[in-house]
Structure 1
Amino acid sequence: MLHLPAAWVWDFWLADDGDRFHLFFLKASRALLDPDRRHWRATVGHATSTDLVVWTEQPDALVPADGPSFDDLATWTGSIVRDDTGTWRMFYTGVSREGRGLIQRIGSATSVDLLVWSRHQPHFVIKPDPRWYESIADRSWPDEAWRDPWVFHNEADGLWHMLVTARANSGAADQRGVVGHATSADLARWSVAEPLSASGSGFGQLEVLQIANVDGQNVLLFSCLSSELSDERKARGERGGIWAVNIDNPTGPFAVENAYRVADETLYVGRLVQDRYGKWQLLAFKNTALNGEWIGEITDPMPVTWIGGRLAIPPLLSNIDTSLPISKSV
């Protein structure tokens, strides 16, 4: 478990150098007193482990840039890949003072050792294409969602793909959450494409996306809070947490309307990772206690398996939402 006495930690992502696991996470000082204030003070922390249980804190990876910049207010969630030269590339979210923290953009940083990071030069920013994605001017959501990039290489087409927390520019306001999409041949030049899921799936947003192949089955993982489910899902008694969709093709399309819940929202931002024994584990951050108090620390690894066609955490079976039909691969 990762608990920092001086800071809250929440969204996170991992890299594996073959020797150590590297955990990158959002952090903010507990001196803020109110955890709701953490978002505008977020930096990217870093810790390492050989077993996903005992973590050693390292120097922070990224802090807000000197202004003016797309990330001069706060640095948010991302992912890390290694390119053909052995260079590590982090794609992360930034918000700016100019945009009052409401306009989210994606930038990049590089490292040779996962310890010291340099922002991409010449600097670039990936932004949503208004042909498909909502803007702040639409006034249907509190912010312009374009964050939490998940980058992976697809052998079938030879391209790098980026999945993004985004919102479509059409449909009911409470159901516009979609899987945003961009592609690149070299990790430097990106083309934004249409979403890989459709508006109307019942989610206001799909946070912290991840694709993994767990024991031969592809799965899309994301998180959504109860407050950001559609009115229709709320009326059916559904609640938020960590969600999954069984998929055939890692590049979509994704039938997000078939999503089922893996854990309730006492846990949030589930990340799948293989341990040193090749077993799939899920880490998450502890979101709220039973009394509603916000916690802000990262769990020990939890083994996952398939039960009745659903990805499940056996020790937390009571968190699994069994009211929804089991979805098939799409």
Structure 2
Amino acid sequence: MTLALERDWIWDSWYARDGDLWHCYFLKAPKSLINPDLRHFNVTQGHATSGDLVTWDHHGTCFAPSGGPAWDDFTTWTGSVVRGDDDRWHLFYTGTRKQEEGLYQRIGHAVSDDLHEWTRVGDGLCLDLVGPNAGAYEADLMRGFWHDRAMRDPWVMRDPEGDGWLMYFTARAPGIPEANAGGAIGFATSPDLMTWNLQPPVFVGGFGQLEVPQVLQIDGRWYCLFCTSAEHFSRDAAESLQTGPLTGTHYLIGEGPRGPWRVAPGFLDGALPCRRYAARLLQTDDGLRIMGFADHPDGTHFVGEIMDPEPVTVTADGLLQVVGQRHAAE
């Protein structure tokens, strides 16, 4: 069974595990819009739970844009959920405002005691592209090519090399002549999940957009998943892949959570037209599983539902592979 809603499209998702229960959070928008391209600016966050990642109980809307003028009164997009040292659950999410026509993205913070009801911390805003390291980012809209000032899709995790927390996010670096070579994995640190310090990106290059990053350690190796579209490959990245540019989920391989990072030689989960996008890797009791939303698998219409999990293995040389799929290498 897929995670699908009769009246809503579903796309980006993120997950938290509490005991034996998986909580899935996802972006959703009403199908009454008719045109799925309108979904991004008519969005709320949905919530569902499952014991096996296959059969889901839907709990409705759990988070939405602010009701009045605010930095996140237009959209509340993709995020991540972690459990803090205070034993509360912390949601980090992307927000935009109507006054800026949704062009400038920032990162917000909300908390919950039960994974169902969420309350913003203050006005919610926890990180923007400001401060001493802001010069390492494209902090203003690059008009003429990009549709946004990128700062979205936060992925938060404990710092395995210290006592605090790490945040990764989709961003771009400034001053790179080829727009599709300026995509970046942004980075920030925090001692307590409340106060965040912007750091320089941990990776720049290869793609114009590295969306929905997810950093995790598997068998002692470090990986950073991201999704991208075929039209956002740089010239060098396009030439390096035997299949040519694909749309879907790719990944970086790192020497540690701060890198250095390099682009993996084979695309993890991609196709033209795109079958699955914005995928996550979940570390289950039965091994790695990949989950993402069905995009345009038949090449004609947007599906907008979460696909069933598929197993992922790590090859002897440390590459990720979806079971049953073959991947090109350099």
Q: TM-score, normalised by structure 1?
A: 0.91
Give distance in 1, aligned partners of 2:192 and 2:126. Answer: 15
Give distance in 2, aligned partners of 1:231 and 1:217. Answer: 28
User: Which of 131, 134, 141 is 2:135 aligned to?
Assistant: 131
Give distance in 1, aligned partners of 2:160 and 2:224. Answer: 18
* Partner SS, residue 295 of structure 2: strand
Q: CA deviation at 1:233?
A: 3.7
* Partner SS, residue 39 of structure 2: helix
Match of 2:73 in 1: 72
Match of 2:173 in 1: 168
Deviations 1:164-212 (A, max 9, x none): 10000121212110110000001111000100013xx320010000112
Q: Does the CA-based 8 Å contact 1:147-1:164 persist in structure 2?
A: yes
Give distance in 1, aligned partners of 2:277 and 2:142. Answer: 28
| Higher alpha-carbon deviation: 47-56 or 243-252 | 243-252
| Higher alpha-carbon deviation: 242-251 or 75-84 | 242-251
Match of 1:299 in 2: 307
Q: What letter corresponds to residue 163 of structure 1 in structure 2? A: Y
* Partner SS, residue 136 of structure 1: coil
Query: Superposed, which structure 2 residues align to 1:133-152 within 5 Å?
Result: 133-139=137-143, 140-152=145-157
1:280 matched to 2:288: yes
* Partner SS, residue 41 of structure 2: helix
Q: 1:10 to 1:259 in 2, by over 3 A?
A: farther
Q: What letter corresponds to residue 112 of structure 2 in structure 1? A: S
User: Which of 206, 209, 224 is 2:210 aligned to?
Assistant: 206
Q: Does the CA-based 8 Å contact 1:243-1:259 persist in structure 2?
A: no
User: Which of 228, 232, 253 is 1:246 aligned to?
Assistant: 253
Q: CA deviation at 1:238?
A: 2.1
Percent identical residues: 38
Q: What letter corresponds to residue 211 of structure 1 in structure 2? A: V
* Partner SS, residue 27 of structure 2: strand
Q: Does the CA-based 8 Å contact 2:141-2:148 persist in structure 1?
A: no
Divergent runs of 4+, >6 A? none
Q: CA deviation at 1:255?
A: 2.1
Q: TM-score, normalised by structure 2?
A: 0.91
| Higher alpha-carbon deviation: 233-242 or 157-166 | 233-242
Structure 2 gaps, min length 5? none
Q: CA deviation at 1:121?
A: 1.9
CA RMSD of aligned residues (A): 1.6
Q: Does the CA-based 8 Å contact 1:132-1:168 persist in structure 2?
A: yes
Give distance in 1, aligned partners of 2:260 and 2:103. Answer: 28
Match of 2:185 in 1: 179
Give distance in 2, aligned partners of 1:18 and 1:110. Answer: 19
* Partner SS, residue 180 of structure 2: helix
Q: CA deviation at 1:295?
A: 1.0
Q: CA deviation at 1:269?
A: 1.0
1:103 matched to 2:104: yes
Q: CA deviation at 1:247?
A: 1.8
Q: Does the CA-based 8 Å contact 1:161-1:251 persist in structure 2?
A: no
Q: CA deviation at 1:280?
A: 1.3
Give distance in 1, aligned partners of 2:27 and 2:268. Answer: 23
Match of 2:225 in 1: 221
Query: Superposed, which structure 2 residues align to 1:29-108 within 5 Å?
Result: 29-108=30-109
Provide the aligned length of Structure 1 versus Structure 2. Answer: 317
Q: Does the CA-based 8 Å contact 2:186-2:200 persist in structure 1?
A: yes
Give distance in 1, aligned partners of 2:80 and 2:219. Answer: 22
Q: Does the CA-based 8 Å contact 1:11-1:77 persist in structure 2?
A: yes
Match of 1:328 in 2: none
| Higher alpha-carbon deviation: 246-255 or 8-17 | 246-255
Q: 1:259 to 1:203 in 2, by over 3 A?
A: farther
Deviations 1:67-88 (A, max 9, x none): 2111111110000111112100
Structure 1 gaps, min length 5? 326-330
Q: Does the CA-based 8 Å contact 1:245-1:259 persist in structure 2?
A: no
Match of 2:279 in 1: 270
Q: CA deviation at 1:19?
A: 2.7
Q: What letter corresponds to residue 229 of structure 2 in structure 1? A: L
Q: Does the CA-based 8 Å contact 1:148-1:165 persist in structure 2?
A: yes
